[in-house]
């Protein structure tokens, strides 16, 4: 049965929905935690995640922006924002460390940069997404301490397709805007202010795989998209969704630029770091099974139905225990009045539905919604025990 939560909208409603800016700051609800003050954290500034040789491919606009002021531009902005928060600055060591001290460092680690375009009623909407981690690590041992994802999305309207320079300016705005709710650095600092690094043993969760069935991959390729890139973005969305819903740290996913148990970082001062990532106690995988659509013509309107089908699995590898393995799907139903000239790109609708599905899966992993399971889980209410077990596990990772 198709999802009963149908989306009916006129041109005006559609425009209002698209123009809204979605900003997601991944903060635990009701969190009262503070940054660990004794010993202080060592501030390590801005870093690119992944093999630095692939920086221009992974982050084309941010890579260009970062070259301003001899490569110090972004790091200087972030440092200035830290200094503007005296309480936070007092808890951070802003001088360079020798790397031998057995205390934690913290960095802004860029994970994903994405620019999408959508035509709606003759207007072009440009949507910029930037995702980063509050990355805590130990330089003495080159080991990960914790990683907390966050992301910002902003949308702007244009009359024509913007060129590379204008797109770069839009990405630059994510780092420089005075609107703190749309600034990724301000959101990173907000997140940093809420965390307290746990001492001693911790259980770790990691997204270890995103796959596609041949039929799903054929849709991706027919839409002119790169399947590997979509898998990487899906992994990033998934870890962010789970971290947001549960307020937990997550080991950076291994779908993109991680090699085995290592993750590479390059800092604004030119230093490189290969972090040893802990083996995950729990692994999370996601398979995109299919993209399907149907178009219906009525007397006064067209109706477009888009559905994304997937399977989410959570397991404990050491014990070969499967905690969650459920088929899930999400559906978007869009009504277009015939008198309105609304053109929909199928892939744009698939991609938004995929993101919606991932966001909802993250929520179900921390709090089960019976109505959602009925409409979006292949086994409906029979999937509830597995999601409840997942809820209990997430609580142990706080």
pLDDT at 25 > cutoff 60: no
pLDDT of residue 388: 97
In the chain, the largest separation of any two C-alpha atoms, in whole Å, equals 73
Q: What are phi and psi of 68, to 5 degrees?
A: -65, 150
Greater pLDDT, 169 or 56: 169
pLDDT at 20 > cutoff 50: no
- By DSSP bridging, strand 262-267 and strand 41-49 are antiparallel
pLDDT of residue 134: 94
Q: Among the listed ranges 83-92, 199-208, 224-233, which one has the minimum average pLDDT value?
A: 199-208
Q: Are 251 and 232 in contact (CB under 8 A)?
A: no
Average pLDDT over residues 40-58: 85
Q: What are phi and psi of 183, to 5 degrees?
A: -100, 120
pLDDT at 136 > cutoff 80: yes
pLDDT band at 6 (very low <50, low <70, confident <90, very high): very low
pLDDT of residue 371: 97
pLDDT at 38 > cutoff 60: no
CB within 8 Å of 286: residues ≥ 6 apart = 207, 209, 210, 211, 234, 235, 238, 310, 311, 312, 313, 358, 361
Sign of CA dihedral 151, 157, 162, 165: negative
Domain boundaries 33-201, corresponding CATH code: 3.30.160
- The model's pLDDT over 67-99, given as tens digits with 9 standing for 90+, comes to 998 888 999 999 999 999 998 988 888 765 445
Angle formed by the axes of helices 164-176 and 73-83, to 10°?
20
Average pLDDT over residues 134-157: 90
- The model's pLDDT over 303-345, given as tens digits with 9 standing for 90+, comes to 999 999 999 999 999 898 999 999 999 999 998 888 877 778 8
Q: What are phi and psi of 35, to 5 degrees?
A: -65, 135
- The model's pLDDT over 344-368, given as tens digits with 9 standing for 90+, comes to 889 989 999 999 999 999 999 999 9
For residue 39, cis peptide bond before it (omega within 30 degrees of 0) = yes
pLDDT at 253 > cutoff 90: no
pLDDT of residue 24: 40
Q: Would you state the torsion angle of the CA atoms of residues 70, 76, 78, 80, taken in this order, to the nearest 10 degrees?
A: -170
Tokens 């992993």 found at: 365
pLDDT at 233 > cutoff 90: no
Q: What's the whole-model pTM score?
A: 0.81
pLDDT of residue 17: 36
Would you give the DSSP letter of residue 285? E
Greater pLDDT, 70 or 64: 64
pLDDT of residue 7: 40
Joined tokens for residue 354: 């995929």
CA distance 212 to 226: 12
Joined tokens for residue 242: 């789970």
Joined tokens for residue 105: 């460092």
Q: Are 207 and 43 in contact (CB under 8 A)?
A: no
pLDDT of residue 39: 58
pLDDT band at 271 (very low <50, low <70, confident <90, very high): confident
With vertex at residue 372, the alpha carbon angle to CA 182 and CA 114, rounded to the nearest 5 degrees, is 30
Tokens 């013509």 found at: 297
Domain boundaries, the chain: 1-11+205-250+281-398, 33-201
pLDDT at 273 > cutoff 70: yes
Tokens 């001062």 found at: 269
Compute CA distances 81 → 85, 110, 120, 176, whole Å: 7, 17, 37, 10
Q: Are 9 and 335 in contact (CB under 8 A)?
A: yes
Percent residues over pLDDT 70 in the chain: 85
Q: What are phi and psi of 324, to 5 degrees?
A: -145, 130
pLDDT of residue 32: 38
């Amino acid at each position: 049965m198709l999802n009963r939560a149908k989306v009916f909208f006129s041109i005006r409603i559609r425009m209002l929905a698209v123009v809204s800016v979605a900003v997601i700051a991944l903060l635990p609800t009701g969190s009262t935690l503070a940054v660990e003050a004794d010993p202080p954290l060592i501030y390590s500034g801005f870093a690119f995640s992944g093999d630095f040789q692939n920086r221009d491919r992974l982050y084309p606009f941010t890579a260009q922006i970062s070259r301003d002021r001899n490569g110090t531009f972004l790091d200087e902005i972030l440092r200035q924002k830290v200094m503007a928060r005296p309480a936070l600055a007092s808890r951070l060591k802003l001088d360079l460390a020798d790397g031998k001290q057995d205390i934690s460092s913290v960095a802004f680690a860029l994970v994903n940069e994405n620019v999408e375009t959508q035509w709606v009623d003759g207007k072009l909407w440009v949507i910029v997404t930037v995702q980063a981690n509050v990355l805590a690590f130990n330089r003495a041992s080159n080991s990960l301490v914790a990683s907390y994802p966050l992301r910002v999305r902003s949308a702007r309207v244009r009359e024509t397709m913007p060129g590379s320079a204008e797109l770069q300016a839009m990405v630059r705005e994510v780092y420089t805007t005075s609107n703190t709710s749309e600034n990724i650095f301000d959101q990173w600092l907000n997140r940093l202010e809420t965390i307290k690094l746990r001492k001693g043993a911790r259980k770790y969760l990691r997204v270890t795989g995103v796959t596609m069935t041949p039929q799903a991959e054929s849709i991706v390729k027919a839409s002119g998209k790169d399947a590997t890139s979509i898998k990487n973005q899906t992994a990033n969305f998934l870890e962010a969704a789970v971290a947001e819903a549960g307020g937990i740290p997550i080991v950076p996913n291994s779908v993109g630029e991680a090699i085995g148990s290592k993750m590479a970082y390059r800092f604004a001062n030119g230093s490189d770091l290969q972090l040893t990532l802990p083996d995950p106690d729990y692994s999370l995988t996601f398979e995109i099974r299919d993209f399907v659509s149907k178009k219906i013509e009525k007397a006064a309107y067209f109706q477009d139905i888009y559905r994304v089908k997937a399977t989410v699995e959570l397991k404990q590898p050491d014990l070969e225990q499967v905690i969650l393995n459920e088929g899930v799907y999400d559906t978007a139903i869009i009504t277009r009045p015939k008198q309105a000239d609304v053109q929909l790109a199928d892939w744009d609708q698939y991609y938004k539905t995929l993101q919606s599905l991932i966001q909802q899966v993250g929520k179900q992993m921390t709090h089960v919604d019976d109505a959602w399971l009925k409409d979006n889980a292949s086994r409906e209410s029979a999937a509830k025990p597995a999601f409840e077990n997942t809820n209990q596990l997430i609580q142990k990772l706080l």
